[in-house]
């Protein structure tokens, strides 16, 4: 799979690193989940095949990207995506995001509706009520406390991988755990808090939308997936065989699931 690595520099001492997988005519901007990075999308790029080109950024404070001095918000990360497109001369793109990445995708759509050709929202939420916001804030405080990130690791890995999380020799579990701990409590906490604003970006005129849930997702309940689909005008709803990180655990299955939706889009030539 051909791969290139580039970056954009911000005035706030931030650096956003991004990868390009493939060189096909069909562009998808792919947005990763909390604590991970864009490199997790390489297997999905391979599964989709040579007609696709994937742009995969590392969000601020993730992977090789540097957070900079501006407080983290979904709006800020969405602006980074637009800046990446500008650097690449991209007018518009299909976007695909999983978990936190799905929330960033919604922010991009809300802020730049003319630049999003379609969106695929996986294992994610479209909003939080007061009770859920309070719970997320408590998780943010937990990971910032001394020893809190390490304590949260076990719970988080279970949310992501289910019973498989108990096997720390599993390559995906080991890699995710290392990145979760490596991101640091302040970064994880800041993104937890940012996530609660996702409902601010809801739009009455969404682009073509596919909502996907993992059949065994321990983190995002089926009711949350169905609520997102129901609240997004014209959205399709499908399930793929896997857990919360289904796009990374089962890329062949996800490629098969999303390809009919992608094949039905009529605006690929805008990228």
> Is residue 181 situated within a structural domain?
no
Full residue range of the structural domain in which residue 44 is found: 3-126+202-270
> Is residue 175 situated within a structural domain?
no
> Is residue 244 situated within a structural domain?
yes
Confidence of residue 2 (pLDDT cuts 50, 70, 90): low
pLDDT digits (tens, 9 = 90+) for 96-126: 999 999 999 999 999 999 999 999 999 999 9
Question: Helices 185-195 and 148-161, interaxial angle, to 10°?
Answer: 50
How far apart CA 77 and CA 99 sit, in angstroms, is 14
Instruction: Evaluate if residue 271 carries a pLDDT over 50.
Output: no
Average pLDDT value over all residues in the chain: 95
According to the model, what pLDDT value does residue 4 have? 83
Q: What mean pLDDT comes out for the span 69-85?
A: 97
Looking up residue 92, the CATH number of its domain turns out to be 3.40.50.1820
> Is residue 140 situated within a structural domain?
no
- CA–CA distance from 1 to each of 5, 46, 53, 164, 251 (Å)? 13, 6, 10, 28, 15
Asked if residue 143 lies in contact with residue 152, where contact means CB atoms within 8 angstroms, the answer is: yes
How many distinct helices (H) and strands (E) make up the chain? 10, 8
> Is residue 85 situated within a structural domain?
yes
Share of the chain above pLDDT 70, in %: 98
How far apart CA 187 and CA 22 sit, in angstroms, is 30
- How many domains is the chain partitioned into structurally? 1
> Is residue 246 situated within a structural domain?
yes
Give me 153's structure tokens: 């690791």
> Is residue 159 situated within a structural domain?
no
User: pTM for this one?
Assistant: 0.96
> Is residue 179 situated within a structural domain?
no
């Amino acid at each position: 799979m051909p791969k290139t690595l580039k970056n954009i520099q911000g005035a706030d001492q931030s650096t956003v690193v991004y990868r390009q997988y493939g060189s096909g005519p069909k562009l998808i901007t792919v947005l990763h989940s909390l604590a991970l990075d864009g490199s997790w999308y390489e297997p999905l790029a391979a599964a989709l095949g040579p007609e696709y080109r994937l742009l995969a950024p590392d969000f601020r404070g993730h992977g090789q990207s540097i957070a900079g001095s501006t407080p983290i918000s979904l709006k800020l990360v969405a602006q980074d995506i637009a800046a990446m497109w500008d650097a690449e001369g991209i007018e518009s793109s299909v976007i695909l995001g999983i978990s936190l990445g799905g929330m960033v995708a919604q922010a991009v759509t809300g802020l730049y509706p003319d630049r999003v050709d379609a969106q695929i929202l996986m294992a994610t939420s479209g909003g939080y009520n007061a009770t859920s916001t309070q719970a997320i804030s408590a998780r943010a405080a937990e990971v910032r406390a001394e020893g809190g990130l390490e304590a949260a690791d076990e719970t988080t890995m279970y949310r992501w991988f289910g019973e498989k999380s108990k096997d720390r020799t599993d390559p995906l579990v080991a890699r995710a755990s290392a990145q979760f701990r490596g991101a640091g409590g302040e970064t994880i906490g800041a993104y937890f808090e940012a996530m609660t604003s996702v409902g601010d970006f809801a739009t009455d005129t969404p682009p073509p939308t596919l909502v996907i849930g993992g059949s065994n997702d321990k983190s995002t309940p089926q009711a949350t997936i169905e609520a997102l689909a129901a609240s997004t005008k014209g959205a399709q709803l499908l399930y793929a065989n896997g857990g919360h990180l289904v796009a990374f655990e089962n890329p062949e299955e996800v490629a098969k699931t999303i390809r009919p939706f992608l094949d039905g889009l009529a605006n690929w030539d805008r990228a």
